[in-house]
């Protein structure tokens, strides 16, 4: 095997976070290499709900500015569709929508409260259980699988390199800097490093002496056969997230997740009988879809930080290394998170957003038992069960 | 002392397990029936389920078999269908006598066991459904005898009513007595093709011809002789160029002769009148449930492709789960993946690049080779034009699930049951690799397209409701960033 070339910036992890960062870095003229242990976007980044309406985030403004341009900027389709219709079945739902609307309004975004009839007009599958709704003139959704490939191709079009089936196993350091990455396919030199390894982030950062607290969990989604297109695909409620795809399928998830002791690399995330609860919830949201057939389901593993907020920061121990986790809501924010990471790498700070709430040192005094305190622990079966022989 | 558990997690929300079987047998074919009778006779409480008679609407969806709209109206009558199915099961009386708890018209649409990413089940379960509801049944021992399904093959016109699979034809003739065709053209000159043709003939249907792309028929000599005696036209070194007909169905097929390089011979085209074209290039072991459960698989070209990895006594890699009969491997010699590879090569030479391989999502061979997105997207950007299978292969080995995500082949209502092996064959040919080097696209629950109203959990754990949040329910996660303490 010929020696493989390192790069100015090496990125660990080919999910949306790593790929978007790589694409932005390549746009800004940096030489980039993304190392992915499997296939790009194979994990959470290709398995999520595709939602992009995160008004609480410091990256919201940039997320909203970028999404409508992404197909153009990347040169490949993402299936981005603007707007979001939210269906209220309870007073609690309505209160939450109003909270979200107020947060967005403060940042200059418009939203309308909808009457039950207006909801039913927009969403023919909705039923008599609707008590109201909301229409956000912002936000939206895209196709995660297509978006991930679009980032990957766009990055390559700008001269960046992606090495799939290449697992990072350790690092080379000298004088307080990371100088290279060790992998199962050899070593790669680097001037800067980005770790965007999703649920594996904690283990990988630990190899650089950094404690990055994340807890992995499994989440599930279901998909129906295609239906006639509703006016807006970004239609959800009843504590589900998801969308109607441009093909017409209803794709929805939500509800109980399962905390895992560790994220087993390489294991296909299992679906469980939760599928049936998701089917029931979807049916409550769209009573007129009772006859509609569910055709597929899947699960994905995401990581959460103790406060559910991103960590986008340089490491104190190795300032030329940036760690990046979006704490389980990274798809929608990816156009902006990638740009923020690129700025952290090249400039040491982010010019367009206030990343104070994303700093790693907020966890400096974290109780080592933080997972147990929050109850974020693997709940084993009531009685023992046969597993893999 | 029990630890505090996040109320928004699945912790403590064990689903209701409605039933338990010491032995659960899935599939009431000959092997499944025999296994169930043996188990019951040895004094074990045994449940035997079979999805036939099917939900009438599944016939139209080509699940589980490729019925090609050739089932007549009688399958809509559940009572009659149940009667037919019961009568076609020769050992059913014996099973009842042995005390087997037989459930017909019940589908196993998933299996759930604890594994590296799921831990919450007290016991391994199979998810079942009938026409009205779904439920969970736990088991000590699971015997999967799910049989085989049809192997698809695309040609211009294969979406017309009347193009169907050999397993579907067999089911309609023998189990349902509901085959609506008269005159059949059989594609595939191996044991399966000849067997299917001779059987149809015995049952009183016309067989127009048997067509085989390979230079010679691989069926046993006695079968070939029997077909000749029966006056069935035999065309080896030939393939179907296209089928024609109307919305009512197939009317005729055009068959061309092939040279040694599997290329069409000019002027050799002949027209064959038929109302049914039966795909009998091979059958596929029905590993859907085994794969979805997480059993380890292996590839055996001479057994129909992907089969469960088994010990000599039929144990899969999952404790307590066994596979027997056709789903464990079909002795197919030349039928199956190898024959499909030959036919696919011929199809490419005959000019079938613009044929929809995936009917549900209308994905053509060209779309696959050019890795094109579906038609509702702009497919002609400069970037997309520069991308194709070869550029994708430069980034890593071919992976069918990746092609599926990009082209949507196999993403439709039949979940690739008509196209997945063909996509494999094409990717293998285009990538210059063996079919076994193409990873199997995974099977997912539900293994049958089932209505939401059937799937929903009618006995939801109360915690599912109280602890249901749209996302993780993390305190403060969605508070605006400017309110966060610095
Ligand atoms: C069911 C579900 C629904 C969701 N819904 C939404 C939604 O609607 N909106 C939203 O914004 N977000 C949603 N999310 C969350 C979102 O998918 C994730 O936050 C996001 O994809 C994270 O991207 P990432 O690139 O940081 O991580 P990942 O996608 O996890 O990528 C990390 C990558 O790193 C690779 N890697 C790990 N270790 C190594 C190593 N040692 N060497 C090389 N590579 C390595 C992995 O293989 C992986 O590809 C959802 C997630 C799930 C599972």
What 8-state DSSP symbol labels residue A75?
A: S
Is any Cβ of chain A less than 8 angstroms from the Cβ of B486? yes
Q: Is residue B166 a part of any domain in this protein? A: yes
Out of B114, B116, B472, name the one closest to residue A304 (CB): B472
CA distance B151 to chain A (A): 20
CA B284 – CA B425 distance, rounded (Å): 14
| Residues B195 and B255 reside in one and the same domain | yes
pLDDT at B87: 87
Cβ <8 Å between B117 and A269: yes
Q: In ligand 1, which atom is closest to the CA atom of A242?
A: 8
pLDDT at residue A240 greater than cutoff 50: yes
Are residues B455 and A294 in contact, defined by beta-carbon separation less than 8 angstroms? Answer: yes
Burial class (CB in 10 A: 0-12, 13-18, 19+), A180: middle
Are residues B254 and B240 in contact, defined by beta-carbon separation less than 8 angstroms? Answer: yes
How far, in Å, from the CA of A104 to the mean position of ligand 1?
26
pLDDT at B435: 92
pLDDT at residue B135 greater than cutoff 50: yes
pLDDT at residue B162 greater than cutoff 50: yes
Number of structural domains, chain B?
3
pLDDT at B486: 58
pLDDT tens column, A13-60: 999 999 999 999 999 999 999 999 999 999 999 999 999 989 999 999
pLDDT at residue A4 greater than cutoff 90: no
pLDDT at A342: 98
Are residues B187 and B158 in contact, defined by beta-carbon separation less than 8 angstroms? Answer: no
| Residues B378 and B430 reside in one and the same domain | yes
CA A258 – CA A376 distance, rounded (Å): 9
Q: What is the mean pLDDT of residues A132-144?
A: 97
Q: In ligand 1, which atom is closest to the CA atom of A41?
A: 49
pLDDT at residue A381 greater than cutoff 90: no
Cα–Cα–Cα angle for B366, B369, B375, nearest 5°? 55
Out of B373, B377, B468, name the one closest to residue A256 (CB): B468
pLDDT at A133: 98
Is any Cβ of chain A less than 8 angstroms from the Cβ of B402? yes
| Residues B45 and B69 reside in one and the same domain | yes
pLDDT at A264: 87
Are residues A214 and A305 in contact, defined by beta-carbon separation less than 8 angstroms? Answer: yes
Cβ <8 Å between B456 and A279: yes
Q: What is the mean pLDDT of residues B140-144?
A: 98
pLDDT at residue B389 greater than cutoff 60: yes
Per CATH, the number for A3-48+145-214+309-374 is: 3.50.50.60
Contacts of B465 (CB under 8 A, 6+ apart): none
- Confidence bin at B268 (pLDDT 50/70/90): very high
pLDDT at A3: 52
pLDDT at A92: 95
- Confidence bin at A383 (pLDDT 50/70/90): low
Q: Using a CB-CB distance cutoff of 8 angstroms, which residues of chain B are in contact with residue A308?
A: 472, 474-478
Q: Is residue B463 a part of any domain in this protein? A: no
pLDDT at B319: 96
| Residues B105 and B155 reside in one and the same domain | no
CATH number of the domain that B358 lies in?
Answer: 1.10.10
User: DSSP 3-state helix, strand, coil percentages of chain A (rounded to 5)?
Assistant: 30, 30, 40
CA B437 – CA B157 distance, rounded (Å): 30
Cβ <8 Å between A275 and B13: no
pLDDT at A389: 41
Q: Whose CA is closest to B158, among B63, B253, B265, B239?
A: B253
Burial class (CB in 10 A: 0-12, 13-18, 19+), B125: buried
Scanning B83-112 for CB atoms below 8 A from A yields: 110, 112
Q: Whose CA is closest to B425, among B416, B436, B417?
A: B436
Are residues A322 and A172 in contact, defined by beta-carbon separation less than 8 angstroms? Answer: no
* % pLDDT > 90, chain A: 94
pLDDT at A384: 46
pLDDT at B1: 44
pLDDT at residue B9 greater than cutoff 60: yes
| Residues B275 and B231 reside in one and the same domain | yes
DSSP calls for B317-368 = SBTTEEE-GGGG----TTTTHHHHHHHHHHHHHHTGGGSEEETTTTEEHHHH
Q: Which of B394, B417, B437 is the C-terminal boundary of a domain?
A: B437
pLDDT at residue A385 greater than cutoff 70: no
pLDDT tens column, A81-114: 999 999 999 999 999 999 999 999 999 999 999 9
Q: What is the mean pLDDT of residues B387-394?
A: 94
pTM of the model: 0.96
Q: Using a CB-CB distance cutoff of 8 angstroms, which residues of chain A are in contact with residue B127?
A: 273, 275-276
pLDDT at residue B189 greater than cutoff 80: yes
pLDDT at B2: 63
| Residues B250 and B323 reside in one and the same domain | no
pLDDT tens column, B357-367: 999 999 999 99
CATH number of the domain that B98 lies in?
Answer: 3.50.50.60
Q: In ligand 1, which atom is closest to the CA atom of A16?
A: 25
E strand intervals along A142-281: 161-163, 168-174, 177-183, 186-195, 215-224, 235-237, 241-244, 250-253, 258-259
In sequence order, the β-bridge partners of residue B235 are B211
Ligand 1 site residues (CB inside 6 A) read A 12-18, 35-38, 42-45, 47-51, 167-168, 196-200, 204, 219, 221, 241, 253, 300, 302, 326, 328-332
Give A81-141+216-304's CATH code, choosing from 3.30.428.10, 3.40.50.300, 3.90.120.10, 3.30.9.10: 3.30.9.10
The ipTM estimated for the assembled molecules is 0.96
Cα–Cα–Cα angle for A182, B397, A217, nearest 5°? 60
> Alpha carbon of A275 to those of A126, A257, A288, B442: distances in Å?
21, 12, 19, 17
Q: Using a CB-CB distance cutoff of 8 angstroms, which residues of chain A are in contact with residue B380?
A: none
pLDDT tens column, A260-315: 999 888 888 999 999 999 999 999 999 999 999 999 999 999 999 999 999 999 99
Q: Which two tokens stand for residue A9?
A: 């910036």
CA distance A175 to chain B (A): 31
Segments forming the whole domain that contains residue B188:
150-279
The verdict on whether omega for the bond into residue B64 sits within 30 degrees of 0, i.e. cis, is: yes
pLDDT at residue B196 greater than cutoff 70: yes
Out of B9, B319, B442, name the one closest to residue A389 (CB): B319
- Confidence bin at B335 (pLDDT 50/70/90): confident
pLDDT at residue A388 greater than cutoff 70: no
Q: Is residue B462 a part of any domain in this protein? A: no
How far, in Å, from the CA of A327 to the mean position of ligand 1?
9
Q: In ligand 1, which atom is closest to the CA atom of A19?
A: 25
CA A70 – CA A50 distance, rounded (Å): 14
Q: Which of B295, B328, B361 is the C-terminal boundary of a domain?
A: B328
pLDDT tens column, A347-356: 999 999 999 9
The domain locations on chain A are 3-48+145-214+309-374, 81-141+216-304
Q: Using a CB-CB distance cutoff of 8 angstroms, which residues of chain B are in contact with residue A273?
A: 15, 112, 121, 125, 127, 136, 457
Out of A239, A301, A373, name the one closest to residue B469 (CB): A239
How far, in Å, from the CA of B254 to the mean position of ligand 1?
50
């Amino acid at each position: 095997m010929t020696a493989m070339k390192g790069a100015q910036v090496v990125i660990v992890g080919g999910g949306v976070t790593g790929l978007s960062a790589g694409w932005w870095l390549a746009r800004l003229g940096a030489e980039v290499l993304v190392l992915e242990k499997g296939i790009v976007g194979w994990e959470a980044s290709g398995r999520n709900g595709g939602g992009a309406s995160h008004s609480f985030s410091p990256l919201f403004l940039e997320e909203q500015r970028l999404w409508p341009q992404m197909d153009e900027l990347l040169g490949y389709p993402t299936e981005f569709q603007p707007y979001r219709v939210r269906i209220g079945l309870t007073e609690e739902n309505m209160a939450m929508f109003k909270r979200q609307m107020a947060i967005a309004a403060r940042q200059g975004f418009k939203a309308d409260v909808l009457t039950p009839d207006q909801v039913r007009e927009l969403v023919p599958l909705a039923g008599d259980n609707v008590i109201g709704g909301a229409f956000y003139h912002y936000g939206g959704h895209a196709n995660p699988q297509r978006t991930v490939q679009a980032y990957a191709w766009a990055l390559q079009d700008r001269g960046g390199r992606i090495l799939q089936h290449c697992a990072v196993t350790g690092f080379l350091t000298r004088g307080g800097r990371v100088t290279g990455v060790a992998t199962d396919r050899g070593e790669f030199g680097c001037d800067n490093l980005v770790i965007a390894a999703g649920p594996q982030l904690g283990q990988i950062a630990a190899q650089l002496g950094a404690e990055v607290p994340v807890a992995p969990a499994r989440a599930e989604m279901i998909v129906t056969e295609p239906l006639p297109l509703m006016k807006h695909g970004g239609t959800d409620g009843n504590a589900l997230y998801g969308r109607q795809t441009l093909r017409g399928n209803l794709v929805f998830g939500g509800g109980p997740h399962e905390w895992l002791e560790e994220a087993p690399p390489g294991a296909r995330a299992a679906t469980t009988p939760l599928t049936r609860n998701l089917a029931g919830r979807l049916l409550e949201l769209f009573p007129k879809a009772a006859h509609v057939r569910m055709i597929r389901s899947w699960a994905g593993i995401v990581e959460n930080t103790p406060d559910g907020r991103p960590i986008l920061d340089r490491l104190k121990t190795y300032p030329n290394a940036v760690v990046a986790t979006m704490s389980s809501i990274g798809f929608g924010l990816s156009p902006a998170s990638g740009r923020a990471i690129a700025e952290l790498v090249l400039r040491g700070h982010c010019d367009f957003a206030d990343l104070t709430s994303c700093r790693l040192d907020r966890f400096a005094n974290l109780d080592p038992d933080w997972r147990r305190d929050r109850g974020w622990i693997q709940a084993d079966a009531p009685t023992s069960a046969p597993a893999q022989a | 002392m029990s630890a505090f558990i996040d109320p928004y997690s699945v912790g403590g929300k064990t689903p209701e397990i409605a039933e338990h079987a010491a032995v659960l047998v899935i599939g009431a074919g000959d092997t499944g029936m025999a296994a169930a009778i043996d188990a019951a006779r040895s004094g074990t409480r045994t449940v035997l389920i079979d999805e036939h008679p099917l939900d009438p609407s599944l016939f139209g969806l080509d699940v589980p078999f490729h019925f090609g709209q050739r089932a007549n109206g009688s399958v809509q009558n559940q009572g009659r269908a149940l009667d037919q199915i019961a009568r076609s099961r020769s050992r059913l009386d014996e099973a009842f006598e042995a005390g087997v708890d037989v459930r017909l018209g019940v589908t196993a649409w998933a299996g759930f066991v604890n594994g590296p990413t799921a831990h919450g089940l007290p016991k391994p379960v199979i998810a079942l459904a009938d026409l009205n509801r779904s439920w969970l049944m736990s088991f000590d021992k699971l015997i999967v005898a799910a049989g085989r399904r049809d192997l698809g093959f695309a040609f211009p016109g294969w979406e017309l009513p009347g193009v169907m699979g050999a397993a579907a034809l067999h089911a309609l003739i023998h189990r349902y007595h509901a085959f609506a065709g008269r005159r059949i053209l059989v594609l595939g000159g191996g044991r399966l093709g000849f067997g299917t043709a001779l059987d149809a003939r015995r049952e009183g249907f016309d067989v127009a011809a048997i067509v085989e792309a390979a230079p010679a028929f691989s069926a046993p000599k006695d079968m070939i002789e029997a077909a000749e005696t029966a006056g069935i036209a035999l065309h080896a070194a030939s393939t179907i160029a296209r089928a024609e007909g109307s919305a009512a169905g197939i009317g005729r097929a055009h068959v061309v002769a092939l040279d040694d390089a599997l290329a069409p011979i000019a002027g050799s085209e002949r027209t064959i009148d038929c109302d049914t074209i039966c795909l009998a290039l091979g059958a596929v072991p029905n590993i859907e449930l085994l794969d979805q459960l997480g059993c380890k698989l292996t590839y055996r070209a001479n057994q129909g492709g992907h089969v469960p990895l088994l010990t000599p006594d039929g144990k899969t890699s999952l404790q307590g789960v066994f596979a027997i009969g056709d789903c464990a491997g079909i002795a197919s010699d030349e039928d199956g993946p190898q024959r499909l590879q030959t036919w696919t090569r011929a199809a490419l030479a005959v000019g079938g690049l613009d044929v929809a391989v995936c009917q549900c999502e209308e994905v053509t061979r060209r779309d696959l080779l050019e890795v094109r997105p579906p038609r509702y997207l702009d497919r002609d950007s400069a970037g997309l034009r520069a991308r194709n299978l070869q550029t994708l292969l430069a980034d890593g080995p071919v992976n069918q699930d990746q092609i599926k995500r990009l082209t949507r082949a196999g993403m439709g209502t039949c979940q690739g049951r008509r196209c997945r092996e063909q996509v494999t064959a094409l990717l293998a040919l285009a990538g210059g690799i063996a079919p076994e080097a193409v990873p199997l696209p995974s099977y997912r629950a539900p293994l049958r397209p089932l209505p939401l109203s059937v799937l929903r959990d009618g006995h939801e754990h109360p915690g599912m409701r109280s602890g249901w949040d749209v996302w993780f329910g993390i305190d403060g996660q969605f508070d605006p960033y400017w309110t966060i303490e610095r």
